[in-house]
Amino acid sequence: MKPKVLVTREVFDDVLDFLGQHFEVTANQEDRLLDAETLARQLAGKDGAVTTLTERIDQNLLSRCAKLKAVCNIAVGYNNIDVPACSTRGVMATNTPGVLDETTADFAWTLLLATARRLTEAEAWLRAGKWERWQLKQFLGRDVHHATLGIIGMGRIGQAVARRARGFDMNVLYYNRRRVAAEIEAACHATYAAKDELLARSDFVVLQVPYSPETHHLIGAAELKKMKPTAVLINVARGGVVDDAALVQALKDGTIAAAGLDVYENEPRLHPGFLELKNVVLAPHIASSSEATRHGMAMLAAKNLVAALTTGNPPNLLNPEAKSVRREG
């Protein structure tokens, strides 16, 4: 008998076909949001799951899913998964790193350019039929070329963002928990700076750090006050890295000039103050959303699940300690 698995959200047909070669698959191709109770019921009796950031995998759910051996997230981030709780119960957890780096870096630049040049504000004005003549001071924006770019989080995506800055002749600063190797700094033409120095000197600040208790509200009121009043903040990392209430206030007060956001606290709900502001560009968590990349993410998650339930060695395992717990059990 084939192992039983659940795919919690809609995925590509060929991904389901691939999983079907190995498992008995229950798939949510209607793409319904599964509340905690429904998710627990559907996972009961399953050996594995392909999940997304909309499903919370926590101790309470795991206690109701005794057969579960693997949870494979379609995302690089995994703050929806209680990894220690998975480890305690011998449940392997995986993510999908690497496949979305370049696409996410592209979108960071999409937001940066759109915000700098007030594109969404200008388009809304044009669509409203307000464009009657050319004016010298119409929608004056900020130059990106030769400006200073500050990147907080110099992992793979942060490095990809930095490499793109060469085309704009930018001065690139970065802050990271640990300074990266000299050869990476050279390849990215980036200079390490303390966080406060980066905030004070940068014309554009791009956030690219994972969400964790340590990065919760990494950018709050105090940090925003350290930025230039002409500065632009870009967040393509995770909601919760920025204190959204503090950012709304800073944008209202002119503490910083503008922001471009793809992620939010408590998404898909977002702070209503953002909708009242013209100096913020808003996107619905689509930084990795090219067809090729989202397909690659889903297929990688499926391959992780196949490996987890066959060899016990998925390539993107987040908690190797879970394997020994499962063996002991």
d(CA 169, CA 184): 18
Task: Let me know if 238 is a catalytic residue.
Answer: yes
Q: Going along the chain, which residue ranges are E strands? A: 4-7, 24-27, 48-51, 70-73, 92-94, 148-152, 171-175, 190-192, 204-207, 232-235, 258-261, 280-282
Let me know if 285 is a catalytic residue.
yes
Identify the active-site residue in 22, 201, 217, 285.
285
The Cα 41–Cα 64 span in angstroms is 8
Residue 296 tokens read as 């690659």
- For 64, the token pair is 């109701």
Of 10, 102, 197, 267, the catalytic one is 267
CA dihedral 260, 263, 210, 199 (to 10 degrees): 30
CA distance 277 to 182: 41
The answer to whether 162 touches 207, Cβ cutoff 8 Å, is no
Residue 189: CB partners within 8 Å, gap ≥ 6? 162, 165, 166, 172
CA distances from 216 to 30, 127, 241, 242, 299 (A): 33, 38, 5, 7, 30
In the set 89, 118, 164, 238, the catalytic residue is: 238
Strand order in the sheet with 4-7: 24-27, 4-7, 48-51, 70-73, 92-94
d(CA 309, CA 323): 11
Within 13 Å of residue 58, how many CA atoms lie on the same side as its CB?
10
| 278-283 contacts at long range (C-beta below 8 A, 24 or more positions apart) | 278/121, 279/118, 279/121, 279/251, 280/115, 280/251, 281/111, 281/114, 281/115, 281/119, 281/120, 282/120, 283/107, 283/111
Residues annotated as catalytic are 238, 267, 285
